[in-house]
Amino acid sequence: MSKVWFVGAGPGDPDLITVKGRDLIARADAILFAGSLVSEAATRWAKVNCVIADSKGMTLEEIVVWLIAQAQAGKMVIRLQTGDPGLYGALIEMVQPLDVAGIDVGVVPGVSSAMASAAAGVESLTLPEVTQTVILTRIEGRTPMPEGESIEQLAAHHCTLCLFLSITLLKKVQQALLDAGWSPEAPVLVVHKASWPDEEKIIRGTISDIRDRCKQEKINSQAMIIASPTIGARHWPELKKSKLYDARFTHRFRRADKQV
């Protein structure tokens, strides 16, 4: 039965695709993968006779035409996207024409580069009594930001910021964080091609020097910027511990030990 599946390929390492995504690839009759961001290795589970095409030179309209043509030919089709399809993936822009064409659609989530970058650096995006909030956003470039969503406004919360599509505007990121009251010495983590075998680069610095460090490493694309009060907590001498695992804390699976 024809259907178009939007599958999150994950951040780069083909093994980080979900089991469901991998199994759909193995069954697919046609796959259109985003070659500028998704490793072709992610198609390695495809059938020998599967039609595989790279969309890196296509416009949105050309992508939609391809998907519709394959689906109308009775094929099970996959649009293989980087990270998660619902996060900066133009998902709805592609789904609307498919709806008009009467083509069934499904979505399989994927691991975001934000999570893969934190994993690469062995960092936690949240910590008890430090921050319990994570903002996934980007700095304004050619695409304007909605009212109330400037980096300065979001950074004023002093929680974790995961900045997509912003590495070429790192100078603006630095200034926005400083304008929001962050210390010039606040730690920043930048991960280039998180999880990509033999291509991942991890750059650590502060707001004041992270741009220079990235320039030294020639990082100018496919990078996640994480600014957070939790960065570097692995080396802190003391941490506020989670109540969930506290022996003095009662929850529905364990009673508190009053002797502790």
User: Tell me: the pLDDT tens digits for 164-212?
Assistant: 999 999 999 999 999 999 999 999 999 999 999 899 999 999 999 999 9
User: In the chain, where are the structural domains located?
Assistant: 3-108, 113-235
CATH topology of domain 113-235: 3.30.950
Rounded CA-CA distance 36/221 in Å is 11
Residues whose CB is less than 8 angstroms from the CB of residue 209 and which lie 6 or more positions away in sequence, other chains included: none
**Sign of the torsion angle spanned by Cα atoms 9, 10, 11, 12:** negative
Global pTM? 0.90
Residues of the chain where predicted confidence (pLDDT) is lower than 70: 1, 243-260
With CA atoms as reference, report the closest residue to 55 among 79, 25, 71, 85: 79
Measured CA to CA, the distance from residue 83 to residue 112 in angstroms comes to 4
Instruction: Report the alpha-carbon distance of residue 227 to residue 181 in Å, rounded.
Output: 13
Decide: 140 and 206 in contact? Cβ < 8 Å. Answer: no
CA distance linking residue 30 with residue 62, whole number of Å: 15
Contact 170, 162 (CB under 8 A): no
Superfamily of domain 3-108: Tetrapyrrole methylase, N-terminal domain (3.40.1010.10)
- In 3D space, the residue among 11, 19, 9, 10 whose CA is nearest the CA of residue 199 turns out to be 11
Closest CA to 174 of 165, 184, 164: 184
- CB distance 104 to 6 below 8 Å: no
10 Å Cβ neighbour count for 101? 13
| Percentage above 70 pLDDT, the chain | 92
